[in-house]
Structure 1
């Protein structure tokens, strides 16, 4: 069988995630790991570290070059953090599988303080996420939000050096890198509703390359259903780096519950809706999950109007 090449960003987290998938795909295909090589690709999002993504083109900057390599035939599979994947797929590409999700929560990291509540008045909170900014300000309008980009090690070092009173990061990335020891606490998914798809990975291929053993082996249906609902809400809310949007699906038995929200960038207003669906084993369950997200997202968007868009 021909070599299967995996396209990945070059960051430590991306390589850790892609390495996990490399080993899983090789096992599912009965191939030695050497036959599933990683192809490192530097994206525009990796090169630009001094500005928020909303200022330079949005989160697609983390996927564009890798998707071009897929379409050109230079790689066969791309591994992305699902929360970085734009709402619509480029023509010719598809998300073939979504492995089981890691922890979807945000993590609170601070050298001197135990939680958000105990930060000093006017404390410095580091994040580049408009969603985290809005959710933090909804609880603590006195905080000073300061832009924080860079890889996880860089962000952790800056927090340890006292450049910020606290920073917020995705728990999933810290866990995958073995850096959960840096976490002072985890933020409630109710108060800090995660980004759509947070904690999940997306395995992207060309549309004609989905008939492989690894697709069924790695696709985790409960995660895929939750992500379908979350991304449906993201589409309805025009979720991007210019809007503060959260969405999180959870499954209990045969019921999927989705909560989604949009916030004003300064945290002064938030619009939220929740809903549920049953029949998760139905042949059209994925479409139903997406429809649930679209419906709830449209309800939120209708209530919010244009008040939640960053300027």
Structure 2
């Protein structure tokens, strides 16, 4: 193995840095190498800088990846570490998601100020979330609740909650665990009631196609079952042309050689919901996800996405 320093690109938020550090730690352990063999390079992205409006209005998921991908192309970094749920389904030519780290808990966490449980919030309470999926699921469960767009990193959102701007907010359990903030959670929402975003809880690594040196470094830290589950979830998303504008949930579970998937699409007000399930061999993960996406789209009908996509 070469001794060149491997440059790990990441966004600058505390969570992004925690994910980059976890990736570095796994690489160090896999290869018996010192921390100095891996350099974390912080790159500011458009998604971090734009805080005054929803991502769906600013340009979608690509806002968190564009600058990191530019750095991959020009050689400033060798790999980019991302939250899988932030990744568009189509990547720029020449780049790939090379490995997925073993997935964390996929559940959403509720952090309540007025009440410990989402279901127990007072009538008309205000809840903050930047995710259209979470907003739609909240409205589905509690149509009386006022949901407001809540941008910013984890610490910013928790500070807004503490300052009384809202009565509650939702964040990924995985992210809170990685930041050692599990103690702030007042309720973990079951996946049956509150299914996660495709890719939620999984860290992925993006690299240049054909870079054999980087591939050799990354291969030992890849987690096969996570990669199989995400192949299904991302194919589901791609079949629905999923973006930040569409409330979509999807979760695949791998057990041995079998995969079980459940997907959901909602209107932003949460009033119309269509669910789909699929099961089959893990070898068919991507096909199962794509078929589930096509079937739920047919189920919803041609007008479902009109006017809000």
TM bucket (normalised to shorter chain) is: over 0.9
Q: How far apart, CA to CA, are the structure 1 residues paired with 2:274 and 2:71?
A: 39
Aligned partner of 2:241 in structure 1 is: 238
Distance 1:308 1:140 in 2: 22
Which stretches of structure 1, 4 residues or more, deviate above 6 A after TM superposition?
none
Range that drifts further, 204-213 or 64-73: 204-213
SS of aligned partner of 2:259: strand
CA distance in 2, matches of 1:14, 1:216: 21
- 2:273 aligned residue: 270
Any idea what SS the aligned residue of 1:188 has? coil
Given that residues 247 and 260 in structure 1 are in contact (C-alpha distance below 8 angstroms), is that contact kept between their aligned partners in structure 2? yes
TM-score by length of 2: 0.95
Q: Which residue of 1 aligns with 2:87?
A: 85
Q: How far does the alpha carbon of each residue in 1:180-226 deviate from its partner, in whole angstroms, 9 at most, with x for none?
A: 10000111111111110000011111001255443231111111111
Distance 1:151 1:60 in 2: 17
- With 300-309 and 10-19 compared, the bigger mean Cα shift is at 300-309
**2:256 equivalent to 1:253:** yes
Match of 1:124 among 120, 126, 129: 126
Question: Structure 1 stretches of 5 or more lacking a match?
Answer: none
Displacement of 1:27 in angstroms is 2.9
Q: Please, what is the CA RMSD of the aligned residues?
A: 1.3
Q: Which one of 276, 290, 294 corresponds to residue 294 of structure 1? A: 290
Q: In structure 2, how many angstroms separate the alpha carbons of the residues matched to 1:43 and 1:30?
A: 32
CA distance in 2, matches of 1:217, 1:202: 14
Q: Is the 8 A contact 1:80 1:203 kept in 2?
A: yes
Alpha-carbon contact 2:198-2:234 (below 8 Å) kept: yes
**Which stretch of structure 1 is more off in the superposition, 55-64 or 248-257?**
248-257
Aligned match of 2:26 = 24
Offset from partner CA, 1:255-307 (integer Å, 9 cap, x none): 210011110110001111001012x4xxxx2xx10110000011111222342
Contact 2:230 2:252 in 1 (8 A): yes
Q: Do the aligned partners of residues 261 and 210 (structure 1) sit closer, same or farther apart at CA in structure 2, a change above 3 Å counting?
A: farther
Using the size of structure 1 for normalisation, the TM-score is 0.95
| Displacement after TM superposition at 1:151 (Å) | 1.0
What is aligned with 1:75? 77
Q: Check whether the contact 1:265–1:308 (CA below 8 A) recurs between aligned residues.
A: no
SS class of match (1:80): strand
Which deviates further from its counterpart, 111-120 or 55-64? Answer: 111-120
In structure 1, C-alpha distance between the alignment counterparts of 2:194 and 2:43, rounded to whole Å: 32
1:227 aligns with 2:223: no
